[in-house]
Amino acid sequence: MIIHRELSRAEVERVWSIDRSEVIDHIYYFENGGLVLKPEHYDMHGWPPGEAEKYTPELLECFDRGGWFCGLFDDAKLIGVAVLDVKFIGRNKDQLQLAFLHVSSAYRNQGLGQQLFEMARDKAREKGAKRLYISATPSEHTIDFYRRQGCIVTPEPDPALFALEPEDIHLECDI
């Protein structure tokens, strides 16, 4: 039985146990004001080298400032996670960033990502946000997932987040 619960600080590093494996055949690019899908093949096996070391301190900082970390568990195994930062961003300071959303490979296409997304959307609304901001890996599956949730390419990318991840597709979603 799959359950969800908030993670403790000591559990934050468990996010790297999620199986990120995926075969990617198409990548979105933002060109001339729109999304363009191009064929590119990647066979992803887990997290890129150095990813955990690079991003764990950022995740812990997010946790320490009150970020929301929700995990999906199959028994004791962490199979999915959503992280909502609580630092307001955007021109009107009315957006919260969905900083992390991943579901293990074997558990995809079961509605679990949508469940995590909806919980993050509800939490953002609770915190007073008007929109979610997502800096997403440009793979076809990822961007199509967010578009099905009602996300659109943001007309105003957050300058700091864009500088960190210029190849990502920067999205927003009304909540």
The per-residue pLDDT for 135 is 97
- In this structure, how many other beta carbons lie within 10 angstroms of the beta carbon of residue 144? 13
Average pLDDT, the chain: 97
Taking residues 35-43, what's their average pLDDT?
Answer: 97
Q: What gap in Å lies between CA 116 and CA 134, rounded to an integer?
A: 14
Q: What is the DSSP string of 96-149?
A: EEEEEEEE-GGG-SSSHHHHHHHHHHHHHHHTT-SEEEEEE--BHHHHHHHHHT
Q: What gap in Å lies between CA 105 and CA 23, rounded to an integer?
A: 10
Q: What gap in Å lies between CA 29 and CA 32, rounded to an integer?
A: 10
83-134: per-residue pLDDT in tens?
999 999 999 999 999 999 999 999 999 999 999 999 999 999 999 999 999 9
Query: Model's pTM, two decimal places?
Result: 0.96
Domains annotated on the chain, with CATH? 2-174 (3.40.630.30)
143-163: per-residue pLDDT in tens?
999 999 999 999 999 999 999
